[in-house]
Amino acid sequence: MKKNELLKNANGEIVRVLEIINEKILFIPCLQKSMPAWDNISDFADYESCTEAEMHEAVNVTLPDFENLSADDPAHCSRTLHTHRRDSSFRWRC
């Protein structure tokens, strides 16, 4: 288990790890709107790693391919796109 990792359990709950200190984990549920919370690492023993694609599917979100974005396309200019990666993040805005 590591910081920023997505975890999924058998019930389909998905959480993102925000911080790990000693035997505690700060996490945020991805499928419901709630505040981050601290819990024991042992409570996540039945969780498995989850991909960003699995999380996007669970929340019914489709992100456009970055390479196909165009400043000339008004559909892409109507919103800000945030993408977070383990090694970097970027913000694109028209």
- Residues pairing with 14 in the sheet: 8
Residues 42, 78: one domain?
Answer: no
Q: What CA–CA distances, in Å, run from 15 to 29, 36, 76?
A: 4, 10, 28
pTM summary value: 0.65
- Both tokens of 15, joined, read 């959480």
Residues 26, 47: one domain?
Answer: yes
Residues 7, 17: one domain?
Answer: yes
- Confidence at residue 53, expressed as pLDDT on a 0 to 100 scale: 84
Residue 65, CB-side half-sphere exposure with 13 Å CA sphere: 2
Residues 33, 79: one domain?
Answer: no
Residues 16, 49: one domain?
Answer: yes
Could you report the per-residue pLDDT of 24-83, keeping only the tens digit for each? 999 999 888 889 999 999 999 999 999 988 888 887 777 767 777 666 665 555 444 544
Count of structural domains, the chain = 2
Quote the domain boundaries for residue 76.
Answer: 63-94
Residue 5, CB-side half-sphere exposure with 13 Å CA sphere: 13
> Which alpha helices (DSSP H) does 26-89 contain, by range?
52-58, 74-77
